[in-house]
Amino acid sequence: MSLTGKIFEPYKKVPGALKLDLCGMKNITKIQLGHNGPLVSKLGLGCMRMSSIWGGATPDETESIATIHKALDCGINLLNTGDFYGAGHNEMLIGKAIKGRRDDAFISVKFGAIFHNGQPLGMDLRPVAIKNFINYSLTRLGIETIDLYQPSRMDGSVPVEDIIGTVADLIKEGKVRYIGVSEITAEQLRKAHSIYPVSALEIGYSLADRQIETELLPAARQLGISVVAFANTAEGLLTGDMKAPITENDYRSHFSRFQGGNLTKNLIKVEVLKQIAREKGYSPTQIAIAWVKQQGDYIMPLVSMSRRSRLPENIEAMDIVFTAEEINTLNTTFAIGTILGSTYLER
């Protein structure tokens, strides 16, 4: 199942009509990453699904590269990757795609996670490891400087001062332009920002995962840190495609949100989202992305895609406007605590 959603006939504004290629019709809104940071597209392209992450098949490289090219043509310039995506495959893929187009792309790289045979082994955030990781990333990407470099998580194994301080040293060396952080607490964010200005916080955020609204989002807003929000469809829950039960070999079956009665009750909530989507003439996925977009000028939806066919609908989602009644319905239906069960996004 594609987590970027799929436009079915009930959600089309004109039954049977083809979706227009929006890329040539409008300019993508820009946002600034942090205080005095760079201007980047309000919609980011997550490249993770262009590689095999959990041991599955690798998507077609030609199509993946074409998707990156089309995104850049559309003005989507933030490309998000991790040095552990596909054991470096993702970075090499992006390197091929941006060859000759370096100035069109803003490259965001996460580091620190250790995988073997598609299985996570833990984190390595030691300064010596970070200095090693970046040289491999620069080589695979075929560039001299990474625009945004960020630990993929902070597990307490290495002091925040050592992690952020090492990346700050890489900035002085010209290997990094800006510092980002990912999947951390409000306390860690404040500490990191006190060591060196943090430009962006990458974190899971959706109608179904709003726990960051209590402490983390307010901290980012207060500090002037932009938010790169991934998992806008809550691992497929909000696409309108999911049905209960899901298969046992689905990775999501390990999380209680997608198990038994929890999933059944959660999908009842999703029916409200689907109804709003029908009434507005969009897909549930588009509504989910648009809701994230509307939570603040400093928030960027990061949408994973590996096919060009997904670009028009995701770009169109950025123009969706809600009425006060629609926002109230969504916020009430998906209030914090209303989605039952846990997921890897809840730490």
Tokens of 330: 């969504």
Instruction: Supply angle C-alpha 67, 107, 163, rounded to 5.
Output: 140
Q: Which amino acid is at 90?
A: N
Of the candidates 153, 164, 156, 162, the one whose C-alpha atom is nearest the C-alpha of residue 120 is: 153
The CA radius of gyration of the chain, in Å to the nearest whole number, is: 19
Q: Phi and psi dihedrals of 228, rounded to 5? A: -100, 105
Which residues touch 96 (CB under 8 Å, ≥6 apart)? 61, 65
Q: Phi and psi dihedrals of 341, rounded to 5? A: 90, 165
Tell me the C-alpha distance between 168 and 54, whole Å.
31
Looking at the annotation, which residues are catalytic?
85
CB 225 within 8 A of CB 200: yes
Which residues touch 302 (CB under 8 Å, ≥6 apart)? 44, 45, 46, 78, 80, 202, 228, 229, 230, 232
**CA 329 to each of CA 19, 117, 280: distance values in angstroms, whole numbers, following the listed order:** 28, 44, 14
How would you class 107 by CB atoms within 10 Å of its CB: exposed for 0-12, middle for 13-18, buried for 19 or more?
Answer: buried
- Sole residue written with tokens 């409200």: 272
Beta bridge partners of 312: none
